Amino acid sequence: MYRILIVEDEPGAASALCDAIMRYGTEHSEQFQVGWMRNTIDLDEPAFDLIFMDIDLGVENGMDAAREIREFDRSTPIIFVTNLAQYAIQGYEVNALDFIVKPFTYGSFSLRMDRAMEVLRRREGRSISIQTRDGLRIFPASSLVRVWMHGHDVNYGLSDGSAEAVRGSLRETEIMLGGTPFLKISSGCIINMAHVRGVRDSAITLSDGSVCYISRANKRRCLEEISRYLGGGGA
């Protein structure tokens, strides 16, 4: 299932876009979970695979919002949906994947969605490479369960029960994992939401049997992100 966020301040426009996404899913046998926000003011670190962003959001400019997203997420594809075609050239500044000009036809949308799906499918096979004390190790991002700090080491816990420790910072790792279903739950821990097996208050049980704890300051945001990822969200 792919998680898609629509950022659009007009309910009618958001509904039309959601309908197009779901129609595309039906025609191409793809499953989409669609979320909708009127703006990005309350958006921290989105756990989405694709973002459709209006530029004229009323309380904010979508281009500025995209620049803020790129400060912590460099890779999630962004498609601008707008009647302000003059902004198209600025899309390169935020590495926008494409533009859809309002009012759009389903045919126009479908062509852009084809391109977006190509990008998402390529990223499914994404690998992570880290320089360990024994040399370079490469593994699928999907096999990474959690990342945590211990002293000055960043520890990578894998689904086969092994772990690798490398010198570095969690912030560097967070940037490297941008655009994947990883969530920073405290100053010293990042989890893979695909490996969440249980949530009880601030305790998160992962597929390897480990239990990680959400910091008090991050609790509400993290629980919302996990709920959205696991299917609690919607348009």
pLDDT digits (tens, 9 = 90+) for 113-161: 999 998 887 766 677 888 888 888 888 888 899 999 999 899 999 998 9
In this predicted structure, the answer to whether residue 180 has a pLDDT above a threshold of 80 is no
- Flag the least confident range among 40-49, 109-118, 160-169: 40-49
Mean pLDDT of the chain: 85
Given pLDDT bands bounded at 50, 70 and 90, which one contains residue 12?
very high
Residue 234 has pLDDT above 50, yes or no: no
pLDDT tens for 151-162 read 989 999 999 899
What span, in angstroms and rounded, lies between the C-alpha atoms of 209 and 24? 38
pLDDT at 235: 34
Exposed/middle/buried for 42, CB within 10 Å: 0-12, 13-18, 19+?
exposed
As a whole number of angstroms, the distance between CA 202 and CA 95 comes to 35
Mean pLDDT over residues 26-46, rounded? 82
Q: Is the pLDDT of residue 5 over 80?
A: yes
pLDDT at 61 over 70: yes
Best mean pLDDT range from 1-10, 44-53, 174-183: 1-10
Q: Are strands 78-82 and 50-53 parallel, antiparallel or unpaired?
A: parallel
What's the rounded Cα separation, in Å, for the pair 229 and 135? 34
Are the CB atoms for 191 and 201 separated by under 8 Å?
A: no
pTM exceeding 0.85: no
* Predicted confidence band of residue 92 (pLDDT cuts 50, 70, 90): low
Q: Which residue has the higher pLDDT, 139 or 215?
A: 215
Inter-CA distances, 187 with 80, 190, 213, 215, Å: 32, 9, 11, 8
Q: pLDDT value at position 183?
A: 92
Residue 125's pLDDT is what?
A: 64
pLDDT of residue 158: 94
